[in-house]
Amino acid sequence: MVKGGDWAYGCQLVDEAFAQLPGLVPPPRVFTPMVLTDTGAKLSKSLIRDGRLAPPPGTRPWMLDVTDWDGDTDNFVDAMVWLVSAMLADPKHFYRSYTTAELDKIMAARPTATTAHRPREMNLYRRYFDLVAAGTKTIEVRVQYPNLRKLAAGDYIRFVCGRDDALTKVKRVARYTSFEEMLDAEGPERVNPTSPRDQQLASIRRIYGPEKEALGVLAIEIELVNNPSEHQPHQNSQ
């Protein structure tokens, strides 16, 4: 259950009621930041829609009705994913309230996407992310989960590590039956130029067990996208 932060205290009362009913468990909840007006009051869309309040200064039309977003659905989804990612890059930013003017400021700082397709996001450990960001790791290894079966040349992948990200373009996707076969065919120096083959194989198998390897192994050849508007760290708002 996702609710605004102003519901947090009310949910305590509901949880106490749940506690008195055997066998019932409160649902997991995420409380999002409250959106405030320029006066510090909560932005009440219902009161504005009912005509009891005028839209406060700094309130963009899409903040009251998402159908007024200046763009298509994919663009709106990209904007919201970017906004949440920027806040969650440092959790202390997520548990704060934001005025409409501050939200507009954050959204204005969003990099303009110039790719034709929405990038996939993949998390990487720091030791691998730094190699990707430096352009020295050109093969990313994954197993063939269902969501990766359609991955193909020309797709974009945004690798994320903490507050940093690196946008890459897929040049080629090769499929193998085992990690050994993949390393022999692709060359371990392209997967991790800082680690010998045997060490790489052991590290990969610590991440992916035999049941995952049995799904099939993907070797994803990537190249960095160096356009400044497409390769930036996640933005944070203080």
Helices (H) and strands (E) in the chain, counts: 11, 9
Q: Strands 2-4 and 30-32: what pairing?
A: parallel
Mean pLDDT score of the chain, rounded to an integer?
85
Place of tokens 């932005």: 43
Domains and CATH numbers, the chain: 2-108 (no CATH), 120-224 (2.30.130.30)
User: Does the predicted model carry a pTM greater than 0.85?
Assistant: no
Place of tokens 């997967």: 191
Q: Round to whole Å and give the CA distance between 136 and 159.
A: 14
pLDDT tens per residue, range 133-184: 999 999 999 999 998 988 999 999 999 998 888 999 999 999 999 999 999 9
Helix (H, G, I), strand (E, B) or coil at 81: helix
Helix (H, G, I), strand (E, B) or coil at 15: helix
